[in-house]
């Protein structure tokens, strides 16, 4: 009889790579990695061969060539002699403008509609349901084109503003002209302007920042800081004595007096649009393409946001509003103090993805001829230079960065309002 | 002794509630005029409804159905109602509705997409209404992926048949090799043999059978596809393929294997971070650069691939939400029963996770279906692209609203039914109390 003194010696066998769970995960991962790298290498190899055959190896030199086309709606100065990189920058800013404007209006409309959908008023709730279903179930591209068609087909022609017997007139004390070529609104002008800061010299990315704007922002920030100080002092007094000093006139004074003083010092006035010859001169021209895109994206996204808001409010248990009522809070106080702060936690994550969707949907600007990033870099520049690979890669990269930035910012905000659990 | 009590001894009959609390008046008071704010809202709403209807009703009903051109339409309007504004010219729909539905598909072959649609209903019925429709129809579901392309594009019947045979070959190998060699080897062998069949033998087989027994439909080019048919085609393919791919991606993202997880995360976040239109640019401009020199395959197929990838990434996130919402105990329960990974996924985790994510899955479907309209931007004649084509015709130059209303109606009907179906499915699968 023999006794077993040592455990049987484990020798590594090849089959253990598949059948032993200690090694199997390694095997699967290595195989997946090899497979992925093979596919990637195959695609890259094809791309290199194809590009060489076409005679255009990857190069981003086209970005510093003159763009040669004009962009009608822009925030920075630009002319057709500028380089492609600057055209892309103008496009990027246009994308951001319409995304920011759209997010703001979509949120406002969405919250109002979402709350009204829960209204006890039968008729109002039904109308809001019709609005939500109508916008959610029809493609956003159709809404964008429809909005553009409505603006350019049904608004008065500039011709009708002219002459002795004009059929159209400007609204809001002759300050706004609504025409089928866009809306002309007053622009802020400063007669004693402090000038601009020129950043990045003469390069394609040159960027002018108005010192007036910086001054306004700084004064506003200081005013808000002052208002907070006053509120904090009022709170301290209330804690100590039980009486809250009246502060609203101090607050209003802090907010408005420095701002008005600054605006007077800068010589602030409005530049009104005026009909000169065949067109309006002066003022800011918001083109139909921008307004259509903004309107359609806001209304479309608002329908989704309304559903999110409604879901968030309904997710709060009825006991919460009943408890608030038992404490004697009025319905609107219940909403602002009890329901909304809790509902926000449910609402914010899906809201983030809707903001992202709006930003990505703004790339449909190309359908109405608004020069956003897709219209410049992915549209005219791509067609003129024939650099498909480089343009589309850059385009994707920029959108990816924007998306990641938005989700990072929103996640940070989400962390702040999140319920802190033990 | 007489009864001196002043207490009523019998119950009074119940009084009717005040007239203002019941019936129409009561309903109106409760639902429309319960306070002054509500009353103001009601009045504003009524005014708004009146404003919309007073424009819409004459527009829709006092309209022209038969005319050759927009000018003729306007003449009829002027003759009948004295103005060209505020009346619809449905004549354009009357004349072009077939084109809006089918694009430039040859009219004598319209029966093929229609048959494909009917078969689609038959193929979907046993899945969508599993409790009412016989499961025998699942055979249609199984063969539909091979019949549909054949019906739509035409060509020899032996092409789809030989591709279908590849699956049969793989299945046979799997069935007989499992006993001989064990599951894993058998699975690998099955995949390899199916690939060998498709790459090396399928073409020869189809060619040979075609020579012996030619049976083909007239083939239709991809550029003739269009209209609402194209939206349905792209939508069905993307929806059908994105669900399985999305499940795999979601599982990959939840996986404990870091490399697999990392690959899935990168893919999902990349696709979700870029707009669909850039992916369509890739389909129309770049995909050929990444393929072997000289290969040039169909634009609709390229678009289908990109839309499917796009939908898969969104689907993966929805399903991941479902997986995350499942209580930890379900995973542990499956483990304690001794089920392996795939068994526990198939029997315990996925049925519950998918049920939780039904609303998300359906809204992704609706989103994908609506997003198929984006193909008009890369030059395909889908239903929106066709409106430009119709307006380019001198007869209908300047017509907008009627076309948009028709398209909106088409999409609304499909998308709204999808969302109602998801509500029905949620109710049917509800097992809580």
* Position B126 in a domain: no
Nearest CB neighbour to B41, from listed A18, A49, A124: A124
Q: Is A139 in contact with B258 (Cβ distance < 8 A)?
A: no
Are residues A356 and A252 part of one domain? Answer: no
Contact A122 B373 (CB under 8 A): no
Q: Which of A29, A53, A123 sits opposite B259 (nearest CB)?
A: A29
How far is residue A56's CA from residue A50's CA, in Å, rounded to a whole number? Answer: 9
Smallest CA–CA distance, residue A9 to chain B, in Å, is: 26
Of A18, A364, A392, the CB nearest to B285: A392
Q: Are B32 and A140 in contact (CB < 8 Å)?
A: no
* Residue B396 CA, distance from chain mean position: 31
List per-residue pLDDT tens for chain B, 433 residues long.
Answer: 566 777 887 888 888 888 777 888 888 888 888 888 888 989 999 999 999 999 889 888 888 888 888 888 888 888 888 887 888 888 888 888 898 999 888 888 889 999 999 999 888 888 888 778 788 888 888 888 888 888 888 888 888 888 888 888 888 888 887 777 777 778 888 888 888 888 888 778 888 887 887 777 888 888 888 899 999 999 999 999 999 999 999 999 988 888 889 999 999 999 999 999 999 999 988 888 888 877 777 888 899 999 999 999 999 999 998 888 888 899 899 999 998 888 899 999 998 888 888 888 998 999 999 999 999 998 888 899 899 889 888 888 888 888 999 999 999 999 999 999 988 888 888 776 6
Structural domain contains residue A168: no
- Give A-chain residues touching B184 at CB under 8 angstroms: 18
Q: Which of B17, B49, B20, B15 is nearest to B34 (CA)?
A: B20
Mutation site, A26, A126, A142, interface B, largest B CB count within 10 A? A142
Chain B residues lying within 8 Å of A127, measured CB to CB: 45, 48-49
pLDDT, tens only, A259-278: 899 888 888 888 788 777 77
pLDDT at position B235 is: 93
Q: Is B427 exposed, middle or buried (0-12, 13-18, 19+ CB in 10 A)?
A: exposed
**Which of B93, B110, B141 is a domain's end point?**
B93
Main-chain dihedrals φ then ψ at residue B45, nearest 5 degrees: -60, -45
Beta-carbon separation of B31 and A33 below 8 A = no
Q: Which of B275, B285, B314, B417 would best serve as a mutation to test chain A binding (most A beta carbons within 10 A)?
A: B275
Using the Cα atoms of residue A36, residue A37, residue A42 and residue A45 in order, give the sign of their dihedral.
positive
A-chain CB neighbours of B46 within 8 Å are: 123
Q: Are A84 and A230 contained in the same domain?
A: no
CA proximity to B289, closest of B273, B304, B271, B302: B302
Please give the Cα distance from B341 to B183 (Å, whole number): 14
- CB of A135 less than 8 A from some CB of B: no
DSSP state of B284: I
Residue A17: inside a domain = no
3-class state of residue B295 by DSSP: coil
Nearest to A142 among B270, B276, B373 (CB): B373
In a domain, B397, yes or no: yes
Contact A389 B289 (CB under 8 A): yes
Measured between CB atoms, which of A51, A137, A400 is closest to B411? Answer: A137
Cβ-based contacts of A138 with chain B (< 8 Å) = 370, 408, 411-412, 415
CB B220 within 8 A of CB B154: yes
- Tell me the residues of chain A between 49 and 68 that have a Cβ less than 8 Å away from chain B: 49-51, 53
Cβ of residue A322 closer than 8 Å to a chain B Cβ: no
- CA-based Rg of chain B, rounded to a whole angstrom? 30
Residues A298 and A412 in one domain: yes
Q: Does residue A15 sit at the B interface (CB-CB below 8 Å)?
A: no
In a domain, A279, yes or no: no
Write down the mean pLDDT value for chain A. 85
Q: Report the residue of chain B nearest A373, measured CA to CA.
A: B278
Give CA–CA dist A268/A258, Å, rounded: 14
Alpha helices in B9-110 (DSSP H): 23-31, 36-61, 70-81, 91-102
Q: What is the ipTM of this complex?
A: 0.88
Q: Which residue of A has its CA nearest to B408?
A: A138
How many other C-beta atoms are found inside a 10 Å radius of the C-beta of residue A22?
A: 8
Of B32, B49, B384, the CB nearest to A145: B384
Task: Please identify, among B54, B77, B93, the residue that sits at the C-terminal boundary of a domain.
Answer: B93
CB contact under 8 A, A141 and B373: yes
User: Does residue A136 belong to any structural domain of this protein?
Assistant: yes
Distance CA A65, CA A61 (A): 7
Q: In this structure, is residue A170 part of a structural domain?
A: no
In a domain, B131, yes or no: no
**A389/B38 Cβ within 8 A:** no
Please count the residues of chain B.
433
Using a CB–CB cutoff of 8 Å, tell me whether A146 touches chain B: yes
Strand partners, A210: A196
Residues of chain B contacting A137 with CB distance shorter than 8 Å: 366, 370, 411-412, 415-416, 419
Question: Residue A405 contacts by C-beta under 8 Å, 6 or more apart in sequence?
Answer: none
Residue B334 lies in a domain: yes
* pLDDT (tens place) for every residue of chain A, 422 residues total: 556 566 666 677 777 777 777 787 888 888 889 999 999 999 999 888 888 888 888 888 888 888 888 888 888 888 888 888 888 999 999 999 999 999 999 999 999 999 899 888 889 999 999 999 999 999 999 999 999 998 888 888 877 777 766 777 777 777 788 888 888 888 888 887 777 778 777 777 777 788 888 888 999 999 999 999 999 999 999 899 888 888 888 888 888 898 899 888 888 888 788 777 777 877 788 888 999 999 999 999 999 999 999 988 888 888 998 999 999 998 888 888 888 888 888 888 888 889 999 999 999 998 898 899 998 888 888 888 888 888 999 999 999 999 999 888 877 887 777 666 55
Task: Say whether both B374 and B228 belong to one domain.
Answer: yes
Which residue range forms the structural domain that includes residue A195? 187-271
Whether residue A14 lies inside any domain: the answer is: no
Q: What is the structure's pLDDT at A111?
A: 92
Same domain? A235 vs A296: no
CATH classification at residue B370:
1.10.3720.10
Same domain, A145 and A291: yes
Q: What is the pLDDT of residue A126?
A: 92
- Structural domain including B338 reads 224-433
3-state secondary structure chain A: CCCCCCCCCCCCCCCHHHHCHHHHHHHHHHHHHHHHHHHHHHHHHHHHHHHHHHCCCCCCHHHHCECCCCCCCCCCCCCCCCEHHHHHHHHHHHHHHHHHHHHHHHHHHHHHHHHHHCCCCHHHHHHHHHHHHHHHCCCHHHHHHHHHHHHHHHCCCHHHHCCCCCCCCCECCCCEEEECCEEEECEEEECCCCCEEEECCCCCCCEEEEHHHHHHHHHHHHHHHHHHHHHHHHHHHHHHHCCCCCCHHHHHHHHHHHHHHHHHHHCEEEECCEEECCEEECCEEECHHHHHHHHHHHHHHHHHHHHHHHHHHHHCCHHHHHHHHHCCCCHHHHHHHHHHHHHHHHHHHHHHHHHHHHHHHHHHHHHCCCCCHHHHHHHHHHHHHCCHHHHHHHHHHHHHHHHHHHHHHHHHHHHHHCCCCC
Does residue B402 sit within a domain? yes
Residues in CB range of B166: below 8 A, 6 or more apart: B194, B197, B198, B202
- Number of folded domains that form chain A: 2
The C-alpha atoms of residue A395 and residue A375 are separated, in whole angstroms, by 10
- Integer Cα distance of A320 and A318 in angstroms: 5
CB-based contacts of B346: which residues, under 8 Å, 6+ apart? none
Whether B41 is covered by a domain: the verdict is yes
Is the CB of residue A321 less than 8 Å from the CB of residue A213? no
Q: How far apart are CA B416 and CA B126, in angstroms?
A: 21
Name the residue in chain A with its Cα closest to that of B292.
A46
Q: How many CB atoms lie under 10 A from the CB of residue B69?
A: 18
Q: Are residues A309 and A379 in the same domain?
A: yes
pLDDT at B115: 92
Domain end among B78, B93, B108: B93
Alpha-carbon span B183 to B189, nearest angstrom: 10
**Boundary of a domain, candidates A220, A240, A271:** A271
Q: Based on the domain organization, do A153 and A232 belong to the same domain? A: no
Indicate the residue among A246, A271, A296 that finishes a domain.
Answer: A271
Size of interface A-B (CB pairs under 8 A): 151
Predicted pLDDT of residue B367: 93
A378–B258 CB contact, under 8 Å: no
Residues A155 and A299 in one domain: yes
Q: What is the pLDDT of residue B264?
A: 92
Whether residue A171 lies inside any domain: the answer is no
The count of structural domains within chain B is 2
Structure confidence at residue B433 (pLDDT)? 61
Final residue before a domain boundary, out of A237, A271, A305:
A271
**B88 assigned to some structural domain:** yes
- CB-based contact A144:A102 (threshold 8 Å): no
Position A4 in a domain: no
């Amino acid at each position: 009889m023999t006794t077993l003194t040592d455990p049987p010696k484990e020798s590594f066998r090849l089959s253990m790579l598949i059948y032993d769970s200690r090694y199997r995960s390694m095997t699967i991962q290595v195989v997946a990695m090899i497979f992925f790298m093979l596919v990637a290498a195959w695609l890259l190899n094809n791309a290199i061969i194809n590009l060489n055959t076409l005679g255009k190896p990857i190069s981003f030199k086209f970005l510093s060539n003159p763009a040669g086309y004009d962009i009608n709606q822009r925030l920075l100065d630009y002319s057709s002699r500028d380089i492609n990189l600057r055209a892309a920058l103008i496009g990027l800013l246009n994308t951001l403008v319409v995304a920011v404007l759209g997010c703001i209006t979509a949120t406002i409309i969405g919250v109002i509609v979402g709350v009204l959908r829960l209204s006890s008023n039968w008729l109002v709730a039904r109308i809001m349901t019709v609005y939500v279903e109508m916008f959610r179930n029809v493609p956003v591209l159709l809404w964008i084109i429809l909005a553009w068609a409505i603006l350019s087909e049904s608004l008065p022609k500039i011709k009708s503003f002219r002459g002795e017997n004009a059929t159209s007139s400007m609204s809001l004390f002759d300050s706004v002209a609504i025409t089928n070529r866009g809306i002309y609104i007053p622009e802020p002008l400063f007669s004693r302007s402090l000038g601009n800061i020129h950043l990045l010299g003469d390069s394609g990315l040159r960027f002018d920042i108005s010192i007036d704007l910086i001054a306004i922002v700084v004064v506003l920030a200081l005013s808000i800081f002052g208002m907070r100080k006053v509120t904090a002092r009022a709170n301290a007094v209330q804690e100590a004595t039980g009486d809250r000093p009246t502060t609203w006139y101090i607050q209003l004074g802090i907010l408005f007096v420095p701002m008005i003083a600054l605006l007077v010092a800068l010589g602030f006035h409005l530049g009104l649009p005026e009909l000169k010859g065949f067109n309006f001169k002066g003022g800011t021209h918001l083109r139909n393409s921008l307004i259509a895109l903004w309107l359609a994206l806001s209304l479309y996204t608002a329908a989704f946001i309304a559903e999110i808001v409604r879901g968030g409010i309904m997710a709060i248990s009825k006991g919460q509003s009943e408890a608030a009522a038992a404490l004697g809070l009025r319905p609107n106080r219940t909403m602002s103090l009890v329901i909304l702060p809790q509902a926000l936690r449910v609402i914010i994550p899906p809201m983030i993805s809707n903001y992202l969707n709006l930003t990505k949907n703004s790339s449909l600007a190309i359908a109405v001829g608004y020069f956003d990033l897709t219209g410049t870099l992915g549209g005219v520049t791509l067609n003129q230079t024939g650099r498909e690979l480089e343009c589309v890669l850059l385009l994707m990269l920029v959108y990816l960065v924007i998306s990641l930035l938005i989700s990072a910012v929103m996640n940070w905000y989400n962390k702040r309002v999140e319920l802190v659990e033990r | 002794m007489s009864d001196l009590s002043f207490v009523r001894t019998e119950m009074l009959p119940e009084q009717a509630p005040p007239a203002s609390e019941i019936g129409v008046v009561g309903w109106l008071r409760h639902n429309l005029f319960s306070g002054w704010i509500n009353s103001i809202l009601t009045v504003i709403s009524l005014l708004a409804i009146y404003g919309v209807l007073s424009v819409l009703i004459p527009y829709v009903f006092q309209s022209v159905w038969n005319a050759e051109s927009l000018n003729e339409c306007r003449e009829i309007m002027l003759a009948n109602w004295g103005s060209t504004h505020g009346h619809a010219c449905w004549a354009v729909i009357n004349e072009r509705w077939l084109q809006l539905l089918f694009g430039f598909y040859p009219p004598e072959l319209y029966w093929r997409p229609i048959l494909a649609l009917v078969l689609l209903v038959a193929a979907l019925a046993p899945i969508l209404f599993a409790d009412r429709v016989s499961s025998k129809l699942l055979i249609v579901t199984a063969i539909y992926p091979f019949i549909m392309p054949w019906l739509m594009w035409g060509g020899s019947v032996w092409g789809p048949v030989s591709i279908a045979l590849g699956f049969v070959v793989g299945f046979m190998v799997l069935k007989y090799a499992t006993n001989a060699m064990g599951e894993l080897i058998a699975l690998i062998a099955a995949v390899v043999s199916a690939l060998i069949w498709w790459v090396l033998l399928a073409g020869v087989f189809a060619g040979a059978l075609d020579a012996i027994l030619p049976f083909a439909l007239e083939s239709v080019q991809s550029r003739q596809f269009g209209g609402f048919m194209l939206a349905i085609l792209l939508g069905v393919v993307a929806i059908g393929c994105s669900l399985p791919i999305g499940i795999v991606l979601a599982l990959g993202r939840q996986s404990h294997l870091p490399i697999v997880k990392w690959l899935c995360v990168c893919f999902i976040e990349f696709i979700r971070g870029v707009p669909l239109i850039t992916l369509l640019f890739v389909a129309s401009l770049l995909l050929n650069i990444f393929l072997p020199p000289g290969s040039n395959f169909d634009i609709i197929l390229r678009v289908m691939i990109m839309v499917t990838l796009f939908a898969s990434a969104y689907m993966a996130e929805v399903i991941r939400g479902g997986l995350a919402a499942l209580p930890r105990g379900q995973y542990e329960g499956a483990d304690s029963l001794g089920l392996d990974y795939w068994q526990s996924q198939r029997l315990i985790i996925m049925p519950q996770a998918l049920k939780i994510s039904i609303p998300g899955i359906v809204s992704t479907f609706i989103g994908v279906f609506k997003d198929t309209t984006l193909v008009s931007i890369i030059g395909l004649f889908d239903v929106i692209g066709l409106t430009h084509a119709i307006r380019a015709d001198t007869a209908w130059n300047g017509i907008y609203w009627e076309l948009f209303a028709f398209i909106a109606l088409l999409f609304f009907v499909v998308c709204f039914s999808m969302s109602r179906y998801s509500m029905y499915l949620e109710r049917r699968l509800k097992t809580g109390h």
